[in-house]
Amino acid sequence: MEQASFTMPALGSRNEYRGFFITEFSRLERVVDLYLAKYFTKDEHSVNELVSILIDRINFEGKATALKALFERRNAYDEFIHNRHDKKIYRKITDGLRSVAQKRNWFAHYHLLDVVHDKNIVIGLIQFRDSTNLITYTHKQFEDLIAEILNVKNQLIQLLNELVQNEDLSNLY
């Protein structure tokens, strides 16, 4: 996957790393929300109503499943009009969403590792269900994780811009 260009802010504590990840994931989820709403209407009031009344009540897995279904419909339409989009973009986005959603669950639900003996590890997460599961990230691995979120978000923004015919959406995500 192509790397997004971004500057990683200086983060100190493991709580800051966790918070930064959750923030970036939330921004991605906002773009998913907008795509789902704008697929059905371009009217701003209706978009806001759809998001606040329906879409905000759906968990991320449900949103990703709905997005995949819309992509499948869109792909069938694209093939009918001479394959405007490469099918791979839809697959990249849905696979990317699945990957970052799993990691989001780790960051949201696993315990933060209190003691890390390796000074290269910036955050450690541990789960105790059934067996102990330990996940650690170096600064570089964490940067790559954030880049993964940004890449999926940017690909989805590109499709969202096409969906709304390049209306200015920069203030929404």
* Least confident span in 31-40, 44-53, 115-124: 115-124
Of 109, 99, 101, 102, nearest in space to 29 by CA: 101
Of 156, 153, 103, nearest in space to 133 by CA: 103
Concatenating the DSSP letter of every residue in 4-25 gives PP--PPP--SHHHHHHHHHHHH
pLDDT at 5 over 80: no
Task: Supply φ then ψ for residue 124, to 5 degrees.
Answer: -130, 140
- What does the CA dihedral 137, 141, 146, 147 come to, rounded to 10 degrees? -170
The confidence score (pLDDT) of residue 150 equals 96
pLDDT in tens, 86-123: 678 888 999 999 999 999 999 999 999 887 788 899 99
pLDDT at 169 over 60: no
pLDDT category of residue 1 using cuts at 50, 70 and 90: very low
What is this structure's pTM?
0.85
Domain spans of the chain? 14-101+148-163
